[in-house]
A and B are shown apart, each in its own frame.
Chain A
Amino acid sequence: MKKIIILVLMLILTIKTHGQIGFLGKRNVISTDIFNTFFQKKYNLNYNFCIGKGLMLKAAYSLHRYSNTIFLTKENNYYTGNNEVADVSLRGHSWELGFDFGNFLQTNMPMPIGYFMGIAFEHFSGTLNENRTYNNLYAPPTEKKYIFNNKANIFKLIYGRNSYIKYNFIIKTSVDIGMYLGSVIENDPANSEECPLMVLPLSNPKVFRIKYNSNYDKMKKVTFYVMPNISLGYIF
């Protein structure tokens, strides 16, 4: 960890800080992610601070309120009609720290405006509530509830562009390429004969259903994902 901190510090020191810092002298940006708010119900607040012409420090806090109904199995046979439905809801929060780099070959557009590349680390912790219902035409539905603690560390590589709109508002369009190191910790071993759904706060949980683990007290999964972002920001 120390090495990483030293590396980052060295990187900061190598960035030319004289002259142009910030856009029109404005070095702070507050932004919120519109795309994920709409699609993932991830309410997000970002704060960026320019520490160099081509370097920006980033801190973010997000609230996750994801819920979805997923058909785990579905038979279309009219006479049997078995299906298994999972109502999933995720409640949690995450914090994020990172750096954005821009103006590599003196394109001379000081950050926060212009093309940039960023690295970020996001830590998510939350609770996954899963309510499974088994429907059968010839029997009453049965329900099972699971509660899991869900933790994840996400390393992201971000490519994006900040464009100035008007009145100090900026729009950020970016693509996150992430590595999700998630873990699910069961709270209730009694119910654990069924494997939990691992809900990545970014995507459809069906994709990340974890296979049964004989040593199921703790399950891990590494996933790569690509996620677009559209944020609206204000510089000051």
Chain B
Amino acid sequence: MRYYTLWIAFFFLTVSEYAFSQKLNLKCYQFPDTIPGKYIFDIKKGYDITSNALVEGYKKRDIKRFAEMESYGKQELFTSGYTYLAWDQLETYLNKVLNQTLPDSLKDNTCVHVYLVRDAEYNAFAIHDGSLFFNIGLFADVVNEAGLAIVLAHEFSHYINNDVKTSYLKGLKIYTKKNRNDNTSLLLKHAKYDRASESRADSLGFVLAENGGYDIFYGISNFMQFREIENFEKETQRKSHLVNMAKNDSTEKGNDSTISKSLEDLMSTHPDLSNRISFLNKYINSAKRRSGKQEFIIDKDEFSRFQELAKTEVLNILLTENKFKECIKRSFIYYLLNPDNENYIYYLLESIRRAVYVDSKLKNHGFLTDMFKKHDDKQGILHKLKLIIPDSVKFSKIKDINLIDTANIAFETYDEAFLYFQNIALKKNINECLLTIALYYSENDSLKSKYLKEYCSKDSIKFKDYANNLLNNSLYSSLSQNNREIILLDNISFIEDHFYGYHDRLILAEQKSPSYFNELRKMTSKYFPEKEIIELSELSLRSLRTKMEYEYAILSTTFINSNDGDTKSDVIYFDSDEKPGKLKEFDLFKLNPSYWKLFKNNKLKAISYLKVYSFDDKTKLMKSINVINPYFWYTIIYRFCDAINNGSDRYAHRVLYYSYDISSKKSNFYSETTRYKMSKAYFLNSIYYAIKTNEKIIK
């Protein structure tokens, strides 16, 4: 099982997503309005405890850096909505399973606690203080409670072995100023260490799970799951940049894939899956440990119930995260295994609709095969279902046998797939799908109004107002009275570059940000009185739900920059060589109708997101005061000219500004780096022009 330190999790925070309520058969997760007290931690205390714990062989400075990142990062995991805060039942269940695996001496340890993470990836991780984080995506697909227990025990082993701290401190060397550009050997060394710590955690995890009474044979199924993902990534070219580079290198040299495979293995932070599986097999066989062990100890029914909920939740997350293809793939697999669940049909149709809306060319591509390196453009996945369900046990559980029949292929392209599932949805009377179908045929007025009328005639539907307005072509005119233009202000990041590596000054940011924000408020009230500044950190404490809604609206607006008509979606097109089709106009409300509700309820006219980074290259400090060096004076004119051209040698600050305005239906992304030290005045000036430039482009 993978564990990542918090800083890696940070990078994914922005793509975590809001689960809106569904009125299908399931009760989906809703964010609480305020963060429950048990998820608010004493950051200062956590920092003091961690920073005062000396680790032999490491400098106090590095330990403080670690403490800063972990203590602030942990709180951020909760305030950012990355962790579930109101799903107590599932969290309690997970903790019961963990408790089952713990040795007696640690059973009542309050430090050790599992939290559930709103992430569709197959992953779990531990942090330094015994908090374990378990992704909902992994929970949705884990085979049984034993498999779950093994993962939790593995993560707990990382905590017991103090792997998080040691790995972080060992890894610091890689990114020092001296090493960061030539760190292959260090990377390899560190990866080797990580693999060793993973193997140790595997061993201890098996022992703990076994002692807890679980059948550790199911650990193999976890590994098989990872192998499936690994194979899928290989087939769809989703490997890391580094591994891809290694592959390209070996290809250029005319070598076969064995070199790239060995490089891949060397770079990997986790042991080879075959080794892990064979190790587990040996462990199981050597002592015939399976006798008397169980698949479920806590509650089988509860597990199944939660897993079913988790699957829908995963689809919900993927859809709102705009990871449409992954959503199509997973909902299709879930549908094959359980065609009676209406949610899977809804998410499948909705994700196809949105994917096609973003990239209209997709309509005629082979259904799901376009994700693979080698594919026939027109041939769908039904020809090779094994590509997405390689596990033969799982394959044998497919219930919709019509779709296994390769002699009589039900559909080939996305368009045909939509039609196929549309008919199923209509047969099953899934009300919400009517809106999806209407929006899919939005170019065809008669079909659109037919399905919209049908949708509006239903009771207890989610987007009645939206559908009525869409039918009357008053979607935007109904919002014409909206006058709020909000700017969501994220925390300022103060990043320093030292000889010992990068340092994100979280404590400094906490101290400095309020005064910067006060000045910003004064500036906006003077120059942009119509704009309303909302601090995200403050809003998350006041109303987390609103904060999440705003953030996800922004996330979707960044999809398309209608300025030049190019689609800019990392999520969808990151791995694709294809150039996406041009969209002249981006309709946020067509992409996701829930945003119309958001704009309507909050009287929003425009929504923007602002993030500022301040960089300080401390390694240049000595260079700039090197006045005793004759070379300094010899090159003074050159230095001055360089300063005119490039600004400060040491400082820079960067402003990111995303915005969407309903009056123009345009989204804009502004990013400028100013190469001067970020004083308050320069900070204000950069933001002033971000807003001004944006207004000019949007209006």
Contacts and interface: CB of A to CB of B under 8 A. Distances in A.
B693 A20 contact: yes
A20 B690 CA distance: 9
Instruction: Tell me if B's interface is mostly helix, strand, loop or mixed.
Output: helix
Given A107-B674, A113-B685, A24 B644 contact: no
Contact of A105 (B645, B674, B686): B645
Interface stretch (B94-102, B240-248, B312-320, B676-684): B676-684
B11 interface: no
A201 interface: no
Contacts of A19: 689, 692-693, 696
Contacts of B679: 164
A112 B246 CA distance: 49
Contacts of A20: 689, 692-693
Given A105-B646, A113-B685, A24 B696 contact: no
B273 interface: no
Contacts of A24: 523, 527, 681, 684-685, 688
A28 B481 CA distance: 38
Contacts of B674: 107-109
A115 B647 contact: yes
A178 interface: no
Contacts, number: 63
A147 interface: no
A104 B643 CA distance: 10
Interface in A172-231: none
Most chain B CB within a 10 A radius of its CB, from A18, A102, A105, A115: A115
B646 A25 contact: no
Interface residues of A, number: 22
B536 to A, nearest CB: 24
A114 interface: yes
Contacts of B647: 107-109, 114-115
A159 interface: yes
A117 interface: yes
A108 B673 contact: yes
Interface in A145-171: 159, 161, 164, 166
A66 interface: no
A108 B675 contact: yes
B575 interface: no
Contact of B682 (A102, A164, A166): A164
B607 to A, nearest CB: 22
Contacts of A105: 645-646
A159 B640 contact: yes
A92 interface: no
A104 B640 CA distance: 13
A23 interface: yes
A62 B647 CA distance: 31
Contacts of A110: 685, 689
Contacts of A115: 640, 643-644, 647
19 contacts: A19-B689, A20-B692, A20-B693, A24-B523, A25-B688, A102-B644, A104-B645, A105-B646, A108-B647, A108-B686, A110-B689, A114-B647, A115-B640, A116-B644, A159-B641, A164-B679, A164-B681, A164-B682, A166-B681
Given A159-B641, A164-B679, 13 more contacts: A19-B689, A24-B523, A24-B681, A24-B688, A25-B692, A105-B646, A107-B675, A108-B672, A109-B682, A110-B689, A115-B647, A117-B644, A159-B644
Interface of A: 18-20, 23-25, 102, 104-105, 107-110, 113-117, 159, 161, 164, 166
Interface of B: 523, 527, 640-641, 643-647, 672-676, 679, 681-682, 684-686, 688-689, 692-693, 696
